[in-house]
Amino acid sequence: MYNQRIINTNKDASRFCKGGISVPLKLNVGDIVELKKFHPCGGNQFTIMRAGMDFRIRCNTCGTQIWINRPDLEKRVKKIIEKE
């Protein structure tokens, strides 16, 4: 009985420690991001126009603006080129 309780506690502890915390990317208005996925026009560099729960990004090649939510954008960002 007593042993079983200890085992259970350990299992809970390991579950608690498992899984990394994902650090949110620092994405600011004006930053240029390079995405893994190419835009249909062939470009993969986008400028952040608006940041928040949803992001508005503009394709630097053709100028099209698109709305994208933060998790999707973070998944696609390959590189952040900060504005100088």
- Residue ranges binding Zn ion (CB under 5 A): 39, 41, 43, 59, 61-62
Contact 23, 4 (CB under 8 A): no
- For residue 63, give both structure tokens: 């100028």
User: Given the complex with Zn ion, which of 61 and 77 has the nearer CB atom?
Assistant: 61
Rounded to whole angstroms, how far apart are CA atoms 42 and 73?
A: 18
User: Given the complex with Zn ion, which of 19 and 42 has the nearer CB atom?
Assistant: 42
User: What is the smallest separation between the CB atom of 79 and Zn ion, expressed in angstroms?
Assistant: 17
User: What is the smallest separation between the CB atom of 61 and Zn ion, expressed in angstroms?
Assistant: 5
| CA 61 to each of CA 12, 34, 42: distance values in angstroms, whole numbers, following the listed order | 51, 12, 8
User: Given the complex with Zn ion, which of 43 and 68 has the nearer CB atom?
Assistant: 43
